[in-house]
Structure 1
């Protein structure tokens, strides 16, 4: 398996239906500007994978770094979320009433 194929296979793909186009759409999270329309989900997936492979080859020939696949990125488990003060108050009260930290309450709601 060549490098472009290996890289391509590490990316995050999604298939969805387009009511407007009456076709399936293949998408790649790491390449948000790319999509592929096809009559079947299998063809949409094959099409977007080929398109990503072509993009990777073009990037390599131009000396560009490809996006790092989400699957191999390191995550700290921390991110900042801003909410209105009344939501913060409500969540703090819920956490206190449940006997857990605000962090644990919000984490469980996001899970």
Structure 2
């Protein structure tokens, strides 16, 4: 997956062969915010503009803008999976948080 970041926001970037342009969509927000450009330079400029417009719209509407991920993650898993993960973490001398962070990192790197 090709991504681009600006101001803590991340966008997925794809190339549309039919229209011969790059298309981006900001990830992690309920709002659908997309932008496009014919060159990478133009795409970066449009991404920055999209973030600025989003933040401005939130301010005008008096709502708190969604922020990129905070680093806090709540998962609901079956009790038996929770138990197995806890045992696996303890067997490695780690907290469940440390163990899960490493497991997620390893999964994302592959």
Q: 1:102 to 1:16 in 2, by over 3 A?
A: same
> Is the CA contact (8 Å cut-off) linking 1:26 and 1:47 kept in structure 2?
no
Select the structure that is richer in strand: 2
Gaps of 5+ in 2: 1-5, 106-110
Q: Distance in 2 between matches of 1:67 and 1:51?
A: 13
Greater RCO (Cα-Cα under 8 Å, separation 6 or more): 1
> Is the CA contact (8 Å cut-off) linking 1:31 and 1:52 kept in structure 2?
no
The structure with more radius of gyration:
1
Gaps of 5+ in 1: 1-8
C-alpha RMSD of the superposition? 3.4
What TM-score, normalized to structure 2?
Answer: 0.56
DSSP 3-state at the match of 1:27: strand
Q: 1:100 to 1:40 in 2, by over 3 A?
A: same
> Is the CA contact (8 Å cut-off) linking 2:16 and 2:23 kept in structure 1?
no
Q: 1:20 to 1:92 in 2, by over 3 A?
A: farther
What TM-score, normalized to structure 1?
Answer: 0.56
Is 1:96–2:90 an aligned residue pair?
yes
